[in-house]
């Protein structure tokens, strides 16, 4: 490699200023990357403009102190395996990279006179991410009085918290007059310490679905509870999943502009009562990938060519918010639907009994006001280490939580889980509609 003599600072400086204007691929070629071990003066590329022609180098000698005659893309092309995550300094202005969920761009920082080179730095956005490493570490180090473990999730990689609230939740709070309706009263005579609907109605309770990147928990939880209760009442004769996609695509109360950004539970139940839906296999779910409402297609034939079977529900009703009333409802008739407030730490729940930690408030860049509403299915209850919990089914797939499920503190209205609980009446062919 040619090292310019100290006696010619004018030429040296001129070459520096010229080279700083170059960006693009030099070490990186279409066929292969031109990177050489040790010091190799033949490992060079032409770098020129109207001021003249020169060479830049792509050999390992550049690792020592990045001489000014190294090619501008040497670091990102030849030394990328040694760089690891982006540090503060970067080398190609205009380059982009990601740090977590935030995008960074390489921009001008300063000119270092002692090294006769321009320094560039990464300039990044600073939005809270769902996979908040600091939050996860603090939860798992027990810096609060809770009892759950936290984890990163691949499905949330690179996703900002504000987008997670928009596309992974999706329940709009019900109108005041709906929430204010009188709840159905029921006898409260159960003292069972543990109960799981999957044990009482083996094979009839549906597992965790995956809403994907579409804020449709309002539809998934509704379809889930309806399917469970239809399955229970029909003794398994109708045990298929109900089509969430048909509800999203064909319901006239969901506009195309907000179909994946939330809906109301009362609208979903109204649709099941008035219009009904076919099975999920007849009308498969695709909005989780497209993030769109999708066009409503006719259901004269199912996706596989078979004849559709439309299922309707009768009426939905509100269950009393007392712990005992909710338990009695589940014990007698099956899973119920509930709306809860989701805070940043819920996204990273892995196992144990969830209770909001409030840890997001302790980190200035992680604002705990980031929260939204989500609807889930409650299928049972229990106790663990003297802590009572509700057993719930989420709609983020089976890789999240405990096989798609979670436990949440019971009896304290944690995150509003006991505020607004819904049961339903079902219709089965050749029977009058019965409460199930």
Res. 60 pLDDT band, cuts 50 70 90: confident
Distance CA 173, CA 420 (A): 10
DSSP, residue by residue, 114-149: TTTEEEEEEEE----BSS-HHHHHHHHTT-SS-EEE
Tokens of 41: 């003066």
* Number of other CB atoms surrounding residue 178 within 10 Å: 15
Q: Is a pLDDT exceeding 60 seen at residue 17?
A: no
Higher pLDDT, 180 or 224: 224
Residues 224 and 106 in one domain: no
Residue at 3 is within a domain: no
**φ, ψ for residue 163, nearest 5 deg:** -75, -30
Looking at residue 82, its pLDDT comes to 44
Residues 143 and 277 in one domain: yes
Q: Which of 102, 124, 146 is a domain's end point?
A: 124
Q: Which of 71, 100, 124 is a domain's end point?
A: 124
Report the CATH number that the domain containing residue 319 is assigned in CATH.
3.90.70.10
DSSP, residue by residue, 6-23: TT-HHHHHHHHHHHTT--
Residues 113 and 161 in one domain: no
Identify which of 178-182, 275-279, 296-300, 333-337 has the greatest average pLDDT.
333-337
Residues 76 and 154 in one domain: no
Q: Is a pLDDT exceeding 60 seen at residue 237?
A: yes
Tokens of 336: 């119920």
Q: Averaged over 382-397, what is the pLDDT? A: 96
State the residue range of the domain holding 85. Answer: 9-124
Cα of 116 vs its chain's centroid, Å: 46
Report the DSSP pairing between strands 117-124 and 387-393: unpaired
Residues 104 and 140 in one domain: no
Looking at residue 70, its pLDDT comes to 78
Q: Say which range, 165-179, 189-203, 268-282, 398-412, has the weakest mean pLDDT.
A: 165-179
Q: Is a pLDDT exceeding 60 seen at residue 384?
A: yes
Q: Is a pLDDT exceeding 50 seen at residue 386?
A: yes
DSSP 103: E
Classified as helix, coil or strand, 200 is helix
Res. 432 pLDDT band, cuts 50 70 90: very low
Looking at residue 394, its pLDDT comes to 98
C-alpha pair distances (Å), 125 with each of 96, 129, 227: 12, 11, 43
Q: How many separate domains does the chain show?
A: 2
* pLDDT tens readout for residues 398-431: 999 999 999 999 999 999 999 999 999 887 664 4
Distance CA 93, CA 105 (A): 8
Residues 180 and 95 in one domain: no
Q: Averaged over 103-129, what is the pLDDT? A: 87
CA angle 332–278–334, rounded 5-degree value? 10
Higher pLDDT, 408 or 61: 408
Q: Which residues pair with 52 in a beta bridge?
A: 49
Looking at residue 19, its pLDDT comes to 47
Res. 150 pLDDT band, cuts 50 70 90: very high
C-alpha pair distances (Å), 237 with each of 188, 232, 367: 30, 9, 48
Looking at residue 157, its pLDDT comes to 93
Res. 90 pLDDT band, cuts 50 70 90: confident
Identify which of 4-8, 11-15, 237-241, 377-381 has the greatest average pLDDT.
377-381
Q: Say which range, 138-147, 209-218, 283-292, has the weakest mean pLDDT.
A: 138-147
Q: Hunting for tokens 């990045």 — which residue is that? A: 66
C-alpha pair distances (Å), 84 with each of 23, 57, 204: 22, 22, 49
Q: Is a pLDDT exceeding 80 seen at residue 328?
A: yes
Three-state SS letters, 36-98? ECCCCCCCEEEEEECCEEEEEECECCHHHHCCCCECCCHHHHHCHHHHCCCCCEECCCCCEEE
Give the sign of the dihedral formed by CA 379, CA 383, CA 388, CA 394: negative
Residue at 2 is within a domain: no
Q: Is a pLDDT exceeding 90 seen at residue 177?
A: no
Distance CA 144, CA 357 (A): 6
Which of 246, 253, 183 is CA-nearest to residue 220? 246
Q: Averaged over 323-330, what is the pLDDT? A: 95
Residue at 312 is within a domain: yes
Residues 82 and 202 in one domain: no
Residues 137 and 120 in one domain: no
Q: With a threshold of 0.85, does the pTM exceed it?
A: no
Answer for the pair 232, 201: CB distance below 8 angstroms, yes or no. yes
Classified as helix, coil or strand, 211 is coil
* pLDDT tens readout for residues 274-325: 999 999 999 999 999 998 888 888 778 898 888 899 999 988 999 999 999 9
* pLDDT tens readout for residues 340-359: 999 999 999 999 999 998 77
Q: Which of 124, 145, 170 is a domain's end point?
A: 124
Looking at residue 10, its pLDDT comes to 29
Angle between helices 217-233 and 265-274 (to 10 degrees): 40
Residue at 316 is within a domain: yes
Residues 156 and 253 in one domain: yes
Looking at residue 115, its pLDDT comes to 73
Tokens of 91: 């080398």
Mean pLDDT value across the chain? 82
Looking at residue 241, its pLDDT comes to 95
Looking at residue 287, its pLDDT comes to 94
Q: Kindly report the length of the chain.
A: 436
Tokens of 192: 């069972």
Q: Is a pLDDT exceeding 60 seen at residue 156?
A: yes
């Amino acid at each position: 490699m040619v090292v310019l003599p100290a006696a010619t600072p004018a030429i040296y400086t001129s070459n520096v200023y010229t080279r700083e204007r170059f960006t693009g691929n030099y070490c990186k070629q279409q066929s292969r990357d031109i990177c050489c071990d040790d010091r190799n003066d033949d490992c060079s590329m032409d770098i020129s403009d109207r001021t003249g022609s020169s060479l830049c180098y792509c050999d390992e000698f550049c690792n020592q102190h990045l001489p000014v005659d190294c090619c501008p893309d040497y670091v990102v092309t030849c030394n990328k395996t040694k760089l690891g995550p982006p540090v503060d300094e970067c080398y190609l202005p205009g380059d982009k990279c990601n740090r977590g969920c935030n995008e960074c761009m390489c921009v001008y920082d300063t000119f270092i006179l002692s090294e006769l080179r321009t320094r560039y730095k990464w300039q990044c956005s600073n939005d809270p991410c769902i996979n908040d490493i600091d939050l996860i570490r603090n939860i798992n180090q027990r810096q609060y009085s809770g009892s759950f473990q936290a984890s990163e999730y691949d499905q949330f990689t690179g996703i900002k918290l504000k987008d997670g609230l928009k596309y992974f939740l999706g329940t709009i709070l019900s109108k005041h007059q709906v929430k204010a309706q009188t709840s159905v009263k029921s006898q409260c005579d159960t003292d069972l310490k543990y109960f799981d609907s999957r044990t009482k109605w083996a094979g009839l309770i549906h597992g965790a679905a995956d809403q994907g990147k579409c804020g449709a928990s309002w539809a998934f939880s509704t379809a889930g509870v309806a399917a469970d209760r239809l399955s229970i009442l029909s003794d398994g004769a109708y045990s298929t999943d109900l089509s969430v996609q048909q509800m999203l695509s064909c319901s006239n109360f969901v506009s195309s502009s907000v179909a994946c950004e939330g809906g109301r539970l009362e609208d979903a139940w109204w649709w099941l009562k008035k219009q009904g839906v076919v099975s999920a296999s007849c009308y498969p779910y695709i909005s989780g990938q497209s993030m769109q409402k999708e066009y409503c297609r006719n259901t004269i034939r199912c996706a596989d060519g078979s004849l559709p079977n439309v299922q309707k529900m009768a009426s939905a009703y509100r269950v009393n918010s007392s712990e005992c009333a909710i338990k009695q409802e589940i014990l007698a008739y099956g899973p119920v639907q509930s709306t809860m407030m989701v805070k940043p730490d819920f996204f990273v729940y892995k196992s144990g009994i969830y209770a909001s930690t409030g840890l997001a408030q302790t980190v200035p860049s992680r604002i705990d006001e980031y929260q939204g509403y989500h609807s889930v299915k409650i299928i049972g209850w229990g106790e663990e280490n003297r802590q009572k919990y509700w057993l719930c089914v989420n709609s983020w797939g089976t890789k999240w939580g405990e096989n798609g499920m979670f436990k949440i503190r019971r009896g304290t209205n944690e995150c509003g889980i006991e505020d607004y609980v819904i049961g339903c009446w079902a219709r089965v062919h050749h029977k009058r509609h019965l409460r199930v």
